[in-house]
A and B are shown apart, each in its own frame.
Chain A
Amino acid sequence: MQIIQSLLNGILLGGLYAMVALGMSLVFGIMKLTNIAHGDLIIVATYICMVMAVQFSGNLLLAVLITICFMMLIGFLLQTFLINKVLDKGPEPPLLVTFGISITLSNILLLVFGADARYIPNTLKTINIVNTEHFSISAIYLLNFIVAIVVICTLHYIMKNTFFGRSIRATADDVTTAELMGVNTKRIYSYTMCLAMVISSIAGLLVGMNYTYYPSTGTEYLIYAFGVVVIGGMGNQMGILLGGIILGIAQLMGAYFFGTGYQLLAGYLVLLIILTIRPQGILSKATRR
């Protein structure tokens, strides 16, 4: 039953897409910013992970920890010195600044690593955890899904139960009041970006373990992330997993019915249709500027 296999893979792949989108959703939910550089930041993390994995002879856990540190620093600097400066200057400047960051980052990657396809070597990709005559579950897909659930739950816990999370949410609800209460909103934005970078680093590692990537792959993941966020609702962490799963299924069903060439196209088309019918996302309660 090939279709069951496709459906199952689609659902599990949804975990990867949810991870890719989670950081973007967080940033949008808190500072109403559509970060066009999001995909490229993930790919930057993937490249750093790759380099670190080589340095530490294949220890991916150590590699991702160091990547997280790097990415937090990058995110903090970009947010503090570039994005924060234009956030209150109308809709276009923040969009265009992140677009500029996107182009700059992908070309720095091109300069440093060249245009060749890369891949983070791992053994998980070849192992099947479950193997029946009808379907199998690959270890790497299962890992995607489990990591996504763990990260989403952790993020949910942080936002609900810690002082840090509460002040982030207060800022998202009402900037002026939060400032009156003594919250430094710009600082909060920088921390939010750091948090998004932690998630994106993990997403970057998963991307590199699942697929080959190039310096220009960021665009693809930006669109996935954006699509998932739109389906799941901007700033809604729980909806993100559902959004990821819908995108994953759409892609693999497209591949199943029309051939692998149409996998990407099917995903994009489903996104466009959802964007048209329900521009605020399926689950959100119209949280737009």
Chain B
Amino acid sequence: MIQLLASKPFKILNIKIIVLILIISIFLTLPLWSSEYIISVFVLIFLYMSLGQMWNLLAGYTGLVSLGQQIFIGLGGYSLAVITVLYQLPIALGIIVGGVISILFALIISQPIFKMRGDYFTIGTWIVAECLAVFFSVWTYVRGGLGFNIIAAYKLSTTDIYYMAVAMGLGSIALVYFLLRTKIGLALMAMRDNESAAETLGVELYKTKLKVFLIAAFVTGLTGGLLYLSIAYIQPRASFSITWTVAMVFIVIIGGIGTIEGPILGAFFFILIKQYLYNYPGISMIILGTVAILTILIAPKGIVGTLQERYGFEILSIRRR
């Protein structure tokens, strides 16, 4: 079935493009015909989609199960706060600096952290995040545990933030899609199937993993900055909290790990449950936790992966023909 589809004519491609354009134009015009509340929900959906895409790129495509991605959310958020509050510089600069600092920090920690394999890597990244949380709590330059009110964010309307979030969400999808169609994508697929065979064919495992780790850090850092534009208050414990990565894991697991469509669906699912149970935050986490466990037990490939297996479709195919 899947092989058959791999050679299907262009018609399906055309339909796909039309549907894609339709969906994108709906999202682009959303602020024109919808309520403030709906817009703010979609801000979250798009930003979490970006987070999910990056975690999926790491865990689903590269085999790097990191529980420390909150590092880059925190760094992104704090960069925004420091640039706009301490130095009174523009928001855009704050966001970009957040991405750059994230990538630099990722580069620095990659040396020690890549020496750890498997479970050690997973918990090692988490320890780094906890270190930062503790360090930022005592670091006077960032006002320790007090944190910042990101005043500059108040000047922006929800619509402004919405368009940035759309760009981030759709951008992250496009990034992963095109990345997987480059040489790196080919290497990642090969490594995922058999690392030793990939190595004997000249694939540089370390370099490839490092590149992906840096890309994920950069995008997660940018997204972190945008998230804190909408939250507008930052404080170490919350910004470096494991809760961020919990969200990423749930989005990817429930949606379907190792698929591009998975995190898209997962982000909708996650934010809708979160919003629906907004007044019972504890309960929503318990429900999500349980759903995630059940997903791993019953349908380990998530919603999208299971559907793909059963019906053999791929919306965003990264196959080479």
A-side residues, CB < 8 A to B, are 34, 36, 82, 85-86, 89, 91-93, 95-97, 99-101, 103-104, 107-108, 110-111, 219-220, 222-223, 226-227, 230, 259, 261-262, 264-265, 268-269, 271-273, 275-276, 279, 288-289
Query: Can you pick out 14 interface pairs between chain A and chain B where the beta carbons lie within 8 Å of each other?
Result: A82-B297, A100-B292, A104-B285, A104-B293, A107-B283, A108-B286, A219-B126, A223-B127, A261-B137, A261-B138, A265-B138, A268-B130, A268-B131, A269-B131
In this complex, how many residues of chain B approach chain A with their Cβ under 8 Å: the count is 40
Q: Are A99 and B67 in contact (CB under 8 A)?
A: yes
- Closest approach, in angstroms, between the C-beta of A253 and any C-beta of chain B? 16
Q: In this complex, what residue of A is CB-closest to B115?
A: A276
CB neighbours of A111 from chain B (8 A): 282-283, 286
- Among A89, A264, A269, the residue within 8 A (CB) of B300 is A89
- Report the bound CA distance from A111 to B59 in whole Å: 30
CB neighbours of B130 from chain A (8 A): 219-220, 223, 264, 268
CB neighbours of B293 from chain A (8 A): 82, 97, 100-101, 104
Is B117 at the interface (CB under 8 A from chain A)?
yes
B-side residues, CB < 8 A to A, are 59, 65, 67, 112-113, 115-120, 122-124, 126-128, 130-131, 134-135, 137-138, 242, 246, 249, 253, 257, 282-283, 285-286, 288-290, 292-293, 296-297, 300
Apart from A91-B119, A264-B134, A268-B131: 17 A-B pairs, beta carbons within 8 A: A36-B67, A86-B300, A91-B65, A96-B249, A97-B297, A99-B246, A100-B289, A100-B292, A103-B246, A108-B286, A111-B283, A111-B286, A226-B123, A265-B135, A275-B112, A275-B115, A289-B118
- Among B113, B289, B296, the residue within 8 A (CB) of A103 is B289
Known contacts: A265-B134, A268-B127. The answer to whether A95 contacts B122 by CB under 8 A is yes
CB neighbours of B67 from chain A (8 A): 36, 99
Per DSSP, chain A at the interface is: helix
Q: In this complex, what residue of B is CB-closest to A273?
A: B112
CB neighbours of A34 from chain B (8 A): 119, 122-123
- Report the bound CA distance from A99 to B257 in whole Å: 16
CB neighbours of B59 from chain A (8 A): 92
Known contacts: A85-B297, A103-B246. The answer to whether A276 contacts B116 by CB under 8 A is yes
Q: Are A101 and B127 in contact (CB under 8 A)?
A: no
Q: Are B296 and A100 in contact (CB under 8 A)?
A: yes
- Among B122, B253, B282, the residue within 8 A (CB) of A110 is B282
Q: Are A104 and B128 in contact (CB under 8 A)?
A: no
CB neighbours of A264 from chain B (8 A): 130, 134
CB neighbours of A288 from chain B (8 A): 117-118
CB neighbours of B285 from chain A (8 A): 103-104, 107
CB neighbours of A268 from chain B (8 A): 127, 130-131, 134
- Among A82, A265, A275, the residue within 8 A (CB) of B116 is A275
Q: Are A104 and B289 in contact (CB under 8 A)?
A: yes
CB neighbours of A100 from chain B (8 A): 289-290, 292-293, 296
Q: Are B112 and A276 in contact (CB under 8 A)?
A: yes
- Report the bound CA distance from A53 to B119 in whole Å: 36
Q: Are A227 and B127 in contact (CB under 8 A)?
A: yes
Q: In this complex, what residue of A is CB-closest to B144?
A: A261
Known contacts: A104-B289, A272-B112. The answer to whether A223 contacts B253 by CB under 8 A is no
CB neighbours of B249 from chain A (8 A): 96, 99
- Report the bound CA distance from A26 to B289 in whole Å: 25
Known contacts: A96-B249, A103-B289, A104-B293. The answer to whether A279 contacts B117 by CB under 8 A is yes
Q: Are B127 and A86 in contact (CB under 8 A)?
A: no
Known contacts: A107-B282, A275-B112. The answer to whether A96 contacts B253 by CB under 8 A is yes
- Closest approach, in angstroms, between the C-beta of B315 and any C-beta of chain A? 24
